[in-house]
Amino acid sequence: MPLIVNDYSWTQNESLVYISLPLKGVKNGKVDIFSTEEYVKVNFNPFLFEAILFAPIDDDKSVAKIGNGVVIFKLFKKEERMWEQLTMKNADKETIQAIRERAVFKAQEKAAADAKAKAVKKQEDNKYALETMMKLEEEQRTNIEQIKEEERQRATAELEAWKKEQMQEAKKKEAQQRLQRQRLEEENKLTKAKQVSVSVSGPGRSSDPLKPAHQDGKSKQKKKTNVPAPRPAGSIRISFTPRVFPTALRESQVAEEEAWLKKQADARRAMNTEVPELKDLKEEERNPDWLKDKGNKLFATGNYLAAVNAYNLAIQLNNNITALYLNRAACHLKLRNLHKAIEDSSKALDLLTPAVADNADARVKAHVRRGTAFCDLELYVEGLQDYQAALKIDPLNQGVCADAERIRQIIQGSMCDS
């Protein structure tokens, strides 16, 4: 049974009332204070203080402070006048009970209104954050499209210059071939003229009357000896430089692959570092891979909140592991925390840059999960963009293709209705 506190003091002026209530050594966290326009209550077990005020006060302006073992109330009067006494006297039990119930009802209404206002503000903040994020992503897409267009124009200009150079070389070769044909025709005419002169002069005679016939045979023999000998047969040994990625060097993007390998090395290095504020954990609980496996098992059993906690701890230990953000996004989808699912999927896509063959499957999962969250928020256009991005990476994925087609039908249906 509570002990009623009566050893309090109070003072007043025309606009304020001060109440001083001793706590007798009770800590701040164990004091429960409740007040309305006409009722004040302080509960610090086993002591209880309550007062039905003489006149109404402004509860929004009034305050209570706890310090040095004393609770001090500063109450603002609604009407500026002097009170005859602090509390109502000679009030029957029914009146007191009615005032208590009215005070509790008003407090509940105020709490509900505050909660509703807080929820509305949170929704507006989330909407603003989502709009800002979408705007940033749209600017990034615009910049990427602009870069692609500039690259396309540059490649087109280089191709046109190459075609022009090839045409010039072809014309040059054609002129050389035409000149060579003309020379061959002239040589053929001279040869025919020589043969005619030889036949006229008779066998065994030279076409040149001043040149003996045996000298022509010697010159032909000399011409035959000038032919080069065939090349000797042999083999050529070819060696290839060992590379991490299977693609050929001329087909790969070396800078992007090196950036991806650096991220993987940083992640492995971070796994060996110790987080100071997590020293009390067991040895296996300091391993992000062990926590990830534990989260996966909890997800498989349907305990999504526990799985999120496991992934959160793993991310504190190492925030560069992409699978942790992807798995936590899947948990948030199950828990209907759609905005958090979008944030985790976007973070995973940031870690999955540059886009190489080794992280293609993870990029597909990130796009699909973010697209699913957008569609659950009825942002079907943004969701379709993510599904299309996943299909660009894996065009043969029948499930993603079917989902994208359903989203496209929903968008077309809403446009027809409007």
pLDDT confidence bin for 231, thresholds 50/70/90? confident
Which residue stretches of 209-287 are H helix? 213-225, 254-271
pLDDT confidence bin for 242, thresholds 50/70/90? low
pLDDT confidence bin for 311, thresholds 50/70/90? very high
**The whole model's pTM is what?**
0.38
pLDDT confidence bin for 402, thresholds 50/70/90? very high
| Mean pLDDT, residues 171-190 | 88
pLDDT of amino acid 368? 95
pLDDT of amino acid 32? 78
Is the distance from CB of 333 to CB of 341 less than 8 angstroms?
yes
| Mean pLDDT, residues 84-93 | 74
Whether 389 shows a pLDDT value over 90: the answer reads: yes
pLDDT confidence bin for 44, thresholds 50/70/90? confident
pLDDT confidence bin for 35, thresholds 50/70/90? confident
Is the distance from CB of 310 to CB of 294 less than 8 angstroms?
yes
Whether 263 shows a pLDDT value over 80: the answer reads: no
**Amino acid identity for residue 247 in this structure:** T
Pairing mode, strands 39-44 and 3-4: unpaired
pLDDT of amino acid 276? 46
- Which is the CATH superfamily of the domain at 281-417? Tetratricopeptide repeat domain (1.25.40.10)
Q: Where are the domains of the chain?
A: 3-90, 281-417
pLDDT of amino acid 308? 93
Between the ranges 63-72, 245-254, 344-353, where is the mean pLDDT highest? 344-353
pLDDT of amino acid 98? 77
Tokens of 144: 């990427």
CATH of domain 3-90: 2.60.40.790
The string of pLDDT tens digits covering residues 149-178 is 999 898 988 888 998 889 998 998 889 988
Pairing mode, strands 57-67 and 70-77: antiparallel
pLDDT of amino acid 271? 54
Sheet of strand 32-35, all strands in order from the earlier edge strand to the far edge? 3-4, 47-52, 39-44, 32-35
- Residue identified by tokens 């509860």 is 59
pLDDT of amino acid 344? 94
pLDDT of amino acid 319? 87
Is the distance from CB of 386 to CB of 370 less than 8 angstroms?
yes
